[in-house]
Amino acid sequence: MPKNATKIEISWHTLWKLFVFALVVVAIYLARDVISVLFVSIVISLALDPLVTFLEERKIKRILGTAIVFFTGVAVVGLAVYFFLPVITIEASNFLKHLHEITYALFGIGLPNNLVDALVLGREKIFDFLASSSVSVTGALTSIFSTAIFVVATVLISFYLCVEKDGTDRFLKVLLPDVYEKPILKVFNRFKVKIRKWFSAQLLLSLIIGVVVAAGLWLLGVRYSVLLGLIAMIFEVVPVIGPLIVGAIAFLIAVSDSFALGVYTLVFFIIVQQFENHILTPAIIGKTMKVHPVVVIFALLAGGKIAGFVGIILAVPLAVLAQEVFNYLAEEKGNRQKFETPPPIG
């Protein structure tokens, strides 16, 4: 052995730790769908808990208040689907056909023709598309069934977490080892405060932008204004990129009718963006609740790559959680350096 060689020894204890860690990582990856359901349930329960607590303070029992909040939420979603789904379905069908024609004319690419025909000619044609493509009908139905189970499970878990006061905190205390309980709960309490504020603020901001875009495009005479307003409401969660995508789509639809309408639509979106950046966002979200756009975009890309649509839904809560973890670690590092630094002499 050379004179200056460094000998590296790894004990069996260290190897077993690495092996167990690898097993935990693999288990988390395999159970990512279940973990996603749990995380979504926690976020929903944290968002709805202030409403349940408000009813509890008004002498309504917590279980009854939770039932009222959840029933009202399901009823609102159900009524919205019942009244708006037919309009949105018709608009979406025509919108996709129109967008396909525009993108094909401009860029030479578009949606598959058989998919466009299926959507335009009627919903019964979708099965013909599935039969004529590589998509399995059985696989599609299985996916729908699995999604329905996950949705029901998410609602039930959220309900049970809301029924008990501080239910999520108690749940984490049961799961966490004593050595990790204090720091994780400290981070979670910060996350809880921030995600509640962000959720309510982002919901209000998305609704306002969706209504303003739909109403403004309708007044301008742009086709598919209701659908574009819905898309704007959904894409509002994606900072910077979301509004640009919606504005680009609306411009393509408008300019296909007339160049002047395209210019008016572009000017309208610039005004909406300025109104949002300088008035709505500071008033509703504020500086203290804002999550860095780079963190959100990175979380959206990573979430979509790892878990698809569910990952996109979880992206912003995970970004908030990651930001709070990094803030906590930075504070702990600063505190350690403060105590380790010797006082100046003299």
Contact status, residue 214 vs residue 223, Cβ threshold 8 Å = no
Looking at residue 234, its pLDDT comes to 83
166 lies in the same domain as 221: no
HSE at residue 183, side-chain half, CA atoms within 13 A, is 10
Residues 139 and 247 in one domain: no
Confirm whether 318 is domain-assigned: no
Closest residue by Cα to residue 162 from 87, 90, 71: 71
Dist CA 128 CA 243 (whole Å): 35
Three-state SS at 1: coil
Tokens of 158: 């959220």
Any domain includes 106: no
182 phi and psi angles, rounded to 5 deg: -65, -50
- Which domain range does residue 184 map to? 178-290
Whether residue 249 is found in the same domain as residue 161: no
Tell whether 326 is covered by a domain. no
What predicted TM-score, i.e. pTM, was given to this entire model?
Answer: 0.65
CA separation for the pair 30, 168 (Å, rounded): 24
Same domain, 151 and 218: no
302 within domain boundaries: no
Looking at 175, 204, 229, which one is the last position of a domain?
175
Burial (CB < 10 A; 0-12, 13-18, 19+), residue 167, is: buried
Which pLDDT belongs to residue 259?
A: 86
- Domain identity same for 156 and 248: no
- Identity of the highest mean pLDDT range in 94-103, 205-214, 233-242, 299-308: 205-214
Give the residue from 257, 290, 323 where a domain finishes: 290
pLDDT band at 282 (very low <50, low <70, confident <90, very high): confident
For residues 268 and 137, membership in a common domain is answered with no
Q: Are residues 153 and 28 in the same domain?
A: yes
Banded model confidence at residue 216, pLDDT cuts 50, 70, 90: very high
- Quote the number of domains for the chain: 2
- Domain co-membership, 282 together with 238: yes
Q: Is 306 inside a domain boundary?
A: no
pLDDT in tens, 288-321: 555 666 666 677 777 666 666 666 666 777 777 7
Q: What is the mean pLDDT of the chain?
A: 75
Least reliable range by pLDDT among 50-64, 65-79, 232-246, 291-305: 291-305
pLDDT tens, 319-346? Answer: 777 777 777 777 777 766 666 655 555 5
Q: Can you state the angle between helices 62-107 and 225-235, rounded to 10 degrees?
A: 110
Given a contact cutoff of 8 angstroms between Cβ atoms, the answer to whether 236 and 214 are in contact is no
Q: Confirm whether 286 is domain-assigned.
A: yes
Q: Please check whether residue 26 lies inside any domain of the structure.
A: yes
User: 115 and 97 in contact (C-beta within 8 Å)?
Assistant: no
* pLDDT reading at 127 higher than 70: no
pLDDT of residue 307: 61
Look at residue 279 and tell me whether its pLDDT is greater than 70: yes
Confidence of residue 238 (pLDDT cuts 50, 70, 90): confident
Pair 164, 246 in one domain: no
Task: Say if residue 117's pLDDT is above 60.
Answer: no
Residues of the chain above pLDDT 90, percent: 6
pLDDT at 233 over 80: yes
My answer on whether 29 and 171 are in the same domain is yes
- Asked, for residue 254, whether it belongs to a domain, the answer is yes
Instruction: Tell me, yes or no, whether 72 and 140 share the same domain.
Output: yes
Asked whether residue 229 falls in the same domain as residue 160, the answer is no
Q: What confidence score (pLDDT) does residue 315 get? A: 72
**Boundary-marking domain end, from 157, 175, 193:** 175
Average pLDDT over residues 215-239: 85
Is 265 or 318 the better-scoring residue by pLDDT? 265
